[in-house]
């Protein structure tokens, strides 16, 4: 069951991404050859106003074929005959729709379970927070120079900066104080801690759900960017990256661990994963790498500056190299996932 849920979640997120491309293409009067749900052989198709709408065999995502990799034809509605800004809007729509989907899920989840304000409920003796005079009831507003809105942002920052001194600004009765803490190691856990505990989740009304929905998407975007930074700097290795197999395993584990608590708990866990995946996909697709939306945007912005399109064959070679590199990376990541899960 967990595998089925993983496929449904991932497929819907990819579908929503492609829906963004599709809707902006139609908005700009661009010919869309096919809009498909799923991949592989066609199970059902119907043509309407020049677009083939299809359901394909394998329920893994979908695609929006606009002929963007082809030479411009005589049709004024061909993708490559539209203005550069129209094409930019179509390409950027996919990642933007991922952020919109993550926001929708985040609002629903916040309305269901509440939100975790960065308020301290307890300070552990012998750890730096207590030694610096921090107390229960203090609200942390900044950590490492970055404004925060969720308690989990503190936990993630500490996780990514283990053992490093950190500057924290907190508010107490309207006054703000700034302290520098040196995390202390918990000998039992082998983990450096600040020594503070969350006050838990607070119930959210409609307005707060929208507000903290934004904060939650922001949190996942920042977490993704921080993870990428650690990958580039070598703090995280390729063996620690998860791909589709790893995602399926995470969803399956989440389902197995929560199914005994009822549908509500299962739903909240899966929604949390969906927010992460959708925000992650949005960020990854905006990276300026060949074959990704971000790589296409690079060429379009160059065209906007030069007022002349980069020769399609040269752009095609670059994207081809990008696709090959991505395929190699996917094989490596899949191998690591399989080794980690089954061996």
- With left for phi above 0 and alpha for psi between -120 and 50, is residue 286 left, alpha or beta? alpha
In the structure, what pLDDT confidence band is assigned to residue 304 with cuts at 50, 70 and 90? very high
Question: Is the domain of 193 the same as that of 237?
Answer: no
| 18 phi/psi in degrees, rounded to 5 | -65, -30
pLDDT digits (tens, 9 = 90+) for 323-335: 888 888 888 888 8
Task: For residues 121 and 109, state if they share a domain.
Answer: no
Domain final position from 148, 182, 200: 200
- pLDDT at residue number 71: 61
Phi, psi for 8 (deg, rounded to 5):
-65, -45
Mean pLDDT of the chain: 89
CATH number of the structural domain spanning residue 134: 2.30.42.10
Known catalytic membership, residue 124: no
pLDDT of 8-62, one tens digit each?
888 899 899 999 999 999 999 999 999 998 888 999 999 988 899 999 888 777 8
Q: Are 37 and 15 in contact (CB under 8 A)?
A: yes
Average pLDDT over residues 163-178: 93
The tens digit of pLDDT for each residue in 273-290 reads 999 999 999 999 999 998
Rounded to whole angstroms, how far apart are CA atoms 265 and 271? 10
Query: Is the model's pLDDT at 2 over the cut of 80?
Result: no
Pair 185, 327 in one domain: no
- Can you give the pLDDT at residue 146? 92
pLDDT at position 163 over 90: no
- Rounded mean pLDDT, 134-154: 94
Does residue 167 form part of some domain?
yes
Q: Which residue has the higher pLDDT, 10 or 246?
A: 10
Phi-psi group of 145: left, alpha or beta (phi > 0 → left; psi -120 to 50 → alpha; rest → beta)? left
| Spatial distance between the Cα atoms of 285 and 205, rounded to a whole number of angstroms | 33
pLDDT, tens digit, 9 for 90 and up, residues 191-218: 899 999 998 899 999 999 999 999 999 9
Confidence of residue 70 (pLDDT cuts 50, 70, 90): low
Mean of pLDDT values over 78-90: 92
Number of domains the chain contains: 2
- Whats the size of the chain, residue-wise? 343
Is residue 111 in some structural domain? yes
Q: How many CA atoms lie within 13 A of 97 on its CB side?
A: 20
Same domain, 99 and 120: no
Rounded CA gap, 308 and 293, in Å? 20
Q: Return the pLDDT at 96.
A: 97
**Contact status, residue 271 vs residue 108, Cβ threshold 8 Å:** yes
Which pLDDT value is given to residue 238? 65
What is the per-residue pLDDT for 291?
Answer: 84
The C-alpha atoms of residue 279 and residue 275 are separated, in whole angstroms, by 6
Q: What's the chain look like in SS3?
A: CHHHHHHHHHHHHHHHHHHHHHHHHHHCCCCCCEEEEEEEEEEEEEEECCEEEEEEEEEEEEEEECCCCCCCCCCCCCHHHCCHHHHHHHHHHHHHHHHHHHHHHHHHHHHHHCECCCEEEEECCCCHHHHCCCCCCCEEEEECCEECCCHHHHHHHHHHCCCCCEEEEEEECCEEEEEEECCEEECCCCEEECCEEECCCECCCHHHHHHHHHHHHHHHHHHHHHHHHHHHCCCCCHHHCCCHHHHHHHHHHHHHHHHHHCHHHHHHHHHHHHHHHHHHHHHHHCCCCCCCHHHHHHHHHHHHHHCCCCCHHHHHHHHHHHHHHHHHHHHHHHHHHHHHHHC
Domain hosting 308: range is 86-115+205-343
Q: Is residue 211 part of a domain?
A: yes
Do residues 102 and 242 share a domain? yes
> How many whole angstroms separate alpha carbon 307 and alpha carbon 316?
19
Q: Are residues 137 and 103 in the same domain?
A: no
| Residue from 18, 34, 153, 315 carrying the catalytic annotation | 18
Q: Are residues 304 and 241 in the same domain?
A: yes
In a domain, 136, yes or no: yes
pLDDT of residue 42: 92
Residues 144 and 229 in one domain: no
> How does residue 241 score in pLDDT terms, banded at 50, 70 and 90?
confident
* Residue 266 domain flag: yes
pTM of the model: 0.89
Taking CA 319 as the corner, what is the angle to CA 318 and CA 323, rounded to the nearest 5 degrees? 125
> How much is the pLDDT for 72?
56
Domain assignment present for residue 62? The answer is no
Do 191 and 223 belong to one domain? Answer: no
Domain boundary among 140, 168, 200: 200
Determine the pLDDT at residue 239: 66
pLDDT, position 333: 80
Last residue of a domain, one of 174, 200, 226: 200
Contact predicate 115/208, CB 8 Å: yes
In this predicted structure, the answer to whether residue 82 has a pLDDT above a threshold of 80 is yes
Domain assignment of residue 243, yes or no: yes
Residue 179 domain-assigned? Answer: yes
Same domain, 287 and 179: no
Residue 138 makes CB contacts below 8 A (sequence gap 6+) with 119, 120, 170, 171, 172
Verify that 236 and 103 share a domain, yes or no: yes
pLDDT confidence of residue 254: 85
Same domain, 311 and 193: no
């Amino acid at each position: 069951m967990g595998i089925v849920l993983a496929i449904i979640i991932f497929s819907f997120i990819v579908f929503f991404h492609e829906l963004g491309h599709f809707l902006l293409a139609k908005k700009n009067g661009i010919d869309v050859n096919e809009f498909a749900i799923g991949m592989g052989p066609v199970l059902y198709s119907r043509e309407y106003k020049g677009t083939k709408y299809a359901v394909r065999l394998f329920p893994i995502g979908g695609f929006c074929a606009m002929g963007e990799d082809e030479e411009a034809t005589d049709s004024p509605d061909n993708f490559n005959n539209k203005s550069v800004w129209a094409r930019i809007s179509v390409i950027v729509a996919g990642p933007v729709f991922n952020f919109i989907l993550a926001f929708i899920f985040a609002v629903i989840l916040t309305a269901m379970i509440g939100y975790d304000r960065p308020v301290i409920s307890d300070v552990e003796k012998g750890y730096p927070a207590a030694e610096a005079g921090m107390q229960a009831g203090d609200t942390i507003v900044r950590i490492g120079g970055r404004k925060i809105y969720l308690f989990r942002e503190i936990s993630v920052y500490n996780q990514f900066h283990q053992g490093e001194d950190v500057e924290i600004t907190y508010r107490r009765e309207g006054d703000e104080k700034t302290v520098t803490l040196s995390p202390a190691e918990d000998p039992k856990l082998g983990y450096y801690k600040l020594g503070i505990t969350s006050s838990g989740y607070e119930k959210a009304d409609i307005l707060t759900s929208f507000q903290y929905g934004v904060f939650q998407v922001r949190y996942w975007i920042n977490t993704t960017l921080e993870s990428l930074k650690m990958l580039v700097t070598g703090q995280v290795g390729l063996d620690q990256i998860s791909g589709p197999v790893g995602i399926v395993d995470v969803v399956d584990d989440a389902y197995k661990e929560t199914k005994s608590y009822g549908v509500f708990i299962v739903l909240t866990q899966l929604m949390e994963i969906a927010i992460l995946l959708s925000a992650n996909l949005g960020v990854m697709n905006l990276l300026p790498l060949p074959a990704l939306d971000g790589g296409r945007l690079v060429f379009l912005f160059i065209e906007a500056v030069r007022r002349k399109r980069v020769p399609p064959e040269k752009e095609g070679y670059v994207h081809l190299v990008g696709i090959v590199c991505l395929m190699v990376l996917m094989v490596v990541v899949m191998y690591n996932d399989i080794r980690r899960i089954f061996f």
